[in-house]
Chains A and B, each alone.
Chain A
Amino acid sequence: MSVGIAVERKDALAKVSGRAKFTEDFSVKGLKHAVYVRSTIAHGRVIKIDTQKAREIEGVRAIFTYEDVPKNLFATAGHPYAIDRAAADVADRLMLTQDIRLEGDEIAIVVADTELIAHRAAAQVEVEYEPYAALVTPEAILAPDARKIHPGGNVVGAHSYEVGGEIKTAEKEAEIVLEGEYSTAMVQHCHLENHIAYAYMEDGDNIIIVSSTQIPHISRRIVSEAINFPLGNIKVVKPFIGGGFGAKQDVIIEPIVAFLTMKMNGTPVQLNLSREETIATTRTRHPFYGKAKGGMTREGELKFLDLDVVSVTGAYASHGHSIAIAGGSKTCTMYPRAVIRYNAKTIYANMPCAGAMRAYGTPQVVFITECLMEDMARKAGIDPLDFRIKNVGLPGDTNPYNKQKILTHGLQECLIKGRELFDWDGKKAAYVDKKTGVIRSGIGVACFSYASGTYPGNVEIASCRLILNPDGSVHVHVGATEIGQGSDTAFAQMAAETTGINYADVKVISTQDTDYTPFDTGAYASRQTYVNGQAVYKAAVELREKILSYAEKVTGQAKEALTIAGDRVVYHAQPETMLITLRDLATDSYYHKNRGGQITSEVSFKTQTNAPSFGCTFVAVDVDIELCKVTIKQIINVHDSGKIINPMTAKGQVHGGMFMSIGAALFEELLVDETSGRIYNNNLLDYKFPTITDMPDLDCAFVETDEPTSSYGVKSLGEPPTISPAPAIRNAILDATGVAPDRLPMSPKNLFEQFKQAGLI
C-alpha cells in the first residue's frame, strides 16, 4: 500500500539540504554569458543599430542583432504539435526583432566572458528608433485606426458559443437580471528560479540544451523550428527546477542559446535572466476585462450567464486565445443546468507578453462569474452559499459545452462540507453587527471547476518505462516533469502500489533528457497525475506480470499463486512465506547464462478522457476602512480532486495555490503606463508579491470522489487551488463593507478609490 499515504517526497532531502542541482549549478568549462540588448521604448521600429563600441570591450566574444537571426516566425506556446495546422499556435516571434512591441523587446544579444562584461557591453550598443504610440488599453488597441502591432492586426483570436438553451428565452424566464463589469490584473508567476538555459555542441553536430523548463520534449521541437536544426540532433535536459507555474510552459530562451552555440562553433553559452527581465519579458497572466449578465428566478434558480470577455495577451501571442477558450469552458461544468453564452476575444498590446499561468485563464473567468453570482444572490436576497448549492452541477449532469456526462461532481459536497468546517451560518449570524465602524467583518464563498488535462483540445500522450535493476529496485522513466508539484513522488507511489514493490525501492529519474526519456508533453494543465498516472499504471501492471512470470520460471511455482510483497515474491495465500527476493530474481534475470533478460516494461498511452475537478473557498475577513486594508481571519479551500494520492503533498499544492490567489486578490499587479507602455514595477520591491508574514493560516479539506476514468481515481489538483480564493475574498469584502470591488487587486490603493467613491471615507 502506497497510494493514499503521506509518504515523504522523493526530492525532499535533496532540496532542503541544498544538494539538488539546478541549471545554474552545473559547472561547464569555458562557459560564456549572454545578455540581451533590450528596447527602451514599447512600440516602434529600430532604424539604426551600432554595436561597434560594445565590440571593442575586452571580453566580448560576439554580438548578434535582429539582422543575424533566421527570419522564420515561430510560435512559443508549450503545446503539442497540432497536426491540424489551422489549430496551430500563432507564429509571431523572431529570436531578435527589429519591430518593437514591448518595453524590453529583444533587439540584439551580447556574448562575453562574464555576465558583468556582457551587461556593460549591452549598455554600449547604440540604438535609434522610430517610435509609435504605445497601445495599452483595449479601447486604444481596438480603435479602428489603431496601428497594427503585428501584420495580421490586433486581434489574436475570438470565439463565442451559446449552450444549454437560448439566452433570449432564459432572459424572459428570469425574474431577476443583473449586469456587472469585472476585471483582473496582469500578474506574474514569480517562480523562485528565473528563466535560465545554456547550450553547447557535442560531436560536431549535436546541440545540447540544459534548461529550466516544464516541457523538455516540446522545447526540443520548437528550438528545431526556430533555428532550422534537425530535431533528432537536439537534446534538451531538464534538471531540478525552481518553479514554473506556466511561465516555463513556453519556449522562451532555449532557441537563442541554441542559436548562439551554433553560431559560435559549439562554445557553451548561458543566458540567465534577471528578476527584472523575467517579470517584464517572459510571461505574465492575461488581464481580463469582463462584461457579465446573469438571470435567475426569485427562488434562486440560475437561468443564464452571459459573459463577454477581452483577454490581453500583450506583445506576442504565446498561448494566445487558448487561454480565453480554456478559461471560459469551466463555467459550464460549474453551472451545467443554466444557459451559458460566452463571447471572448484576445488582443495584442504593447505590454509584457502573457502566456500560461497556473489555471490558464480560469481564475480570470471564474472571478467574473463568481462576482456576478454573488451580486445576483445579494440582489435576490438569497444566501450566496445557498444560491450556489442550489445551482452547481451534480454527478450525472451533462456538461452543455462538450456534451460529456460528468461522472464525478463533488462541488455540492465541497460546499456542504465547507459550510460546516467554516461554520458559515454561525459566522454569518455573528457578523451581523460588524458592518459599521472602522473595522468591519464579512464572509465570502466562491466555487470553481477545472479540467484534468487538455483533451480534446490537444493530444494527451504520456509514457512510462520501468526497469527492474539487478538489486531488485525499480527505476521509473517518465517524460512528465517534476517542477515542484510532487509528480515524481506520486508516480513512485503509483508504481509501488501497482507492482507491490516497496516505495523506498522505487526511484523516479527526475532529470528528463530527450535523448532517452520517453515522450511526454510535460508539466501543464494539471495533467500529469491523471494522464501520466495511466501510463505508470499500465507499465506497472506489465512489470508485475513479467516479474511473476519470471518467478514462475525460476521457482517452478505457478505465477497465478504468486504476488509481490515489498522486496520479495510470496504466495498469495501465504504472504509470510518468501519464495524469492526481488534481488535474487533480478540478478538471475540479468546474469543467468541461459535464461532471462532485463525485465522492463514500457508504455506510451493516449488518454481520451478529461475529468473535471471542483472545489470552493470560504473566507472571513476584517476590513480596516480607514487604512483600506484587508486582513484574512480564516480561509479554507475544499477540493474534489478525486482520490488523493498523497495527503501531505496535496495539502502543499493547495497551500501554494491559495497563496498565489491571495496575492492576486490583495497585492499583485504589474503596472504599465497607459500612454508610454513603460513598465513600472518589474521588480520584487515594487511588485507587491506577498511575504509569508502577509499570509493567514491556510486550511484545506478534500471530498474524495472516485473518478472512474483515471487509474487511481484521481483528478487534477495542481492548478485548481488558485482559482477560487480571489473571488471569495472579494465577496467577503463586499459582505463586510457593502462595497463591491470590481477589479483586482483589492490592494489598499485600489480599495481607497472605491471606498472614497462609496463615501465610506
Chain B
Amino acid sequence: MFNIEKYSKVKSVSEAVSLLEKNPRARLIAGGTDVLIRLREGEEDYTELIDIHDLAELMDIQKRENGDISMGAGVTFSQVMENAIIKESIPVIAQAAGTIGGPQVRNVATIGGNICNGAISADSAAALFVLDAVLEIERVNGARELPVREFYLGPGRVALEHGDVLKAIIVKQENYAGYGANYYKYAMRNAMDIATIGCAATCKLDGEVIEELKIAFTVAAPKPMRAQTAEDGARGKRVTDENIEKIAALVMEDLNPRDSWRASKNFRLQVIRILAKRVITAAIEDAGVQR
C-alpha cells in the first residue's frame, strides 16, 4: 500500500509543466520503478504525483535529417533494445539497456527516469556519457539543452529544478558515426542488480591508431565520470596490448570509488582496472581492429 495523496495523469508535457508550476510538492512519475520504491519505503516527498508515462510525445525515437538521433525521455528500456535506429547506429545504448533489472522492469522503466533519478549506478549513464548525449529539458518559460556530462551534480542530485521535464535525449551524429563502442556492467549477479562498476567506451580508429577514445564509469566516483586523463593519453596511440594496459592504468586519475560494506575500495579499483582494459579492447574490436 502506497501513501499517494494526489495523482494526475497528464495528456501532454506542457500540461505536466504547468501542473508542476502550480504544485510545489508534486513530482513526476514515469515508469515508477524508482518512485514506487521510495513510496514503499515511506518517503514523504512523492505523495503528490504527476504521471507522464505513455505520453506519445515522450516516446519517439527518430533519426533527424542531419543524422542526429533523438530519443524521448519516456522510451522504455525494452523499446530501446528493440528499436531499429538504436540497434543500427548506437547499439551501445541497447547493450546497456539489456543489463537493467529484468524483463518486467525493462518493460516499464524509462531511460529518462533512469538519469533523472540521479543514481550513480544508472546503467544508461555511462553509455550516454561516452556518446556525449545532450538533454532537452522543458519548463514553463521555454526549453533548454544541457550536455549529459553537466547533468549530474552528486549522488542522487541532478541539474533539474522544480518544474523541469526532461523531454528528449539527443546523440549527435559526430559522436557515434565511425565509432566502435562497448558497455560492461559488473555486478554481483547477472540480472536484478545494480552495478558494482559500470564502464562504457567509444573509440574511433585511424587504421591501427587510436584517433579518439571516450571512456566513462559509473559507481567509480560520486557521479558518473569520464576518465579524461586516459582519453587524452590514448589519442594517437597505436593499438597494442601494452598501450591498452597503459591507457587503462590512467583511468584512476579521474576516479575515486567508495569503500563500503557492499564492496571495498580495493576491490572496486581492481574491477575498474580490468574493465577499462576489457571495455577499451572491445570498443576497439567493434571499431574494426581484430585483437
Contact = CB atoms under 8 A, between A and B. Distances in A.
Contacts of A119: 42
B270 interface: yes
B263 interface: yes
A747 B261 contact: no
A116 B188 contact: no
A627 B271 contact: yes
A504 B32 CA distance: 46
A761 B267 CA distance: 11
B192 interface: yes
B267 A116 contact: no
B189 to A, nearest CB: 5
Interface string A657-684: 0000000000100010100000010001
Contact of A693 (B191, B271, B274): B191
Contacts of B263: 749
A761 B264 CA distance: 15
A685 interface: yes
A688 B189 contact: yes
B30 interface: no
A647 interface: no
B270 A752 contact: yes
B274 A626 contact: yes
Interface residues of B, number: 23
A34 B266 CA distance: 44
A748 B267 contact: yes
A691 B42 contact: no
Interface in A736-761: 747-749, 752-753, 756, 761
Contact of B262 (A116, A686, A753, A761): A686
B274 A748 contact: no
A123 B267 contact: no
A232 B163 CA distance: 64
B189 A691 contact: yes
B3 to A, nearest CB: 6
A667 B188 contact: yes
Interface in B6-46: 42
Contacts of A688: 188-189, 193
B146 to A, nearest CB: 30
A265 interface: no
Contacts of B196: 748
A694 interface: yes
A119 B43 CA distance: 12
B190 A691 contact: yes
A688 B188 CA distance: 7
Contacts of B261: 671, 673, 680
Interface in B240-285: 261-264, 266-267, 270-271, 274
A114 interface: yes
Nearest to A695: B190
Given A114-B1, A123-B42, A680-B261, A693 B190 contact: yes
Contacts of A690: 189
Contact of B102 (A114, A680, A691, A752): A691
Given A626-B274, A671-B261, A748-B188, A685 B193 contact: yes
Given A686-B262, A748-B267, A627 B193 contact: no
Contacts of B3: 116, 120
A749 B267 contact: yes
A29 B263 CA distance: 48
Task: Please report whether the interface of chain A is mostly helix, strand, loop or mixed according to DSSP.
Answer: loop
Interface string B201-224: 000000000000000000000000
A737 B117 CA distance: 41
A443 B188 CA distance: 23
B151 interface: no
A747 B42 CA distance: 32
Interface in A626-664: 626-628
A415 to B, nearest CB: 31
A390 B190 CA distance: 39
A627 B261 CA distance: 18
Contacts of A673: 261
A685 to B, nearest CB: 7
Interface in B180-202: 186, 188-194, 196
A92 interface: no
Nearest to A680: B261
Contacts of A626: 270, 274
Given A680-B261, A685-B194, A686-B262, A752 B188 contact: no
B156 to A, nearest CB: 16
Nearest to A123: B42
Given A114-B1, A680-B261, A749-B263, A691 B192 contact: yes
Nearest to B192: A691
Nearest to A625: B274
A691 B104 CA distance: 14
A749 B264 contact: yes
Interface in B85-101: none
Contacts of A627: 186, 271, 274
B270 A761 contact: yes
A115 interface: yes
Contacts of A628: 267, 270
Which of B3, B102, B274 has the most A CB atoms < 10 Å from its CB?
B274
Nearest to B190: A693
A533 B61 CA distance: 62
Contacts of B271: 627
A688 B187 CA distance: 10
B262 A694 contact: no
Which of B42, B190, B192, B194 has the most A CB atoms < 10 Å from its CB?
B192
A680 B194 CA distance: 16
B279 to A, nearest CB: 12
Interface string B136-180: 000000000000000000000000000000000000000000000
A406 B270 CA distance: 51
A700 to B, nearest CB: 23
Nearest to B188: A688
Nearest to A755: B270
A626 B3 CA distance: 46
Interface of B: 1-3, 42, 102, 186, 188-194, 196, 261-264, 266-267, 270-271, 274
Q: Which 7 interchain pairs have the tightest Cβ spacing?
A: A693-B190, A116-B1, A626-B274, A691-B191, A693-B191, A688-B188, A752-B267
9 contacts: A120-B42, A627-B271, A628-B267, A690-B189, A693-B190, A694-B189, A748-B188, A749-B264, A756-B266
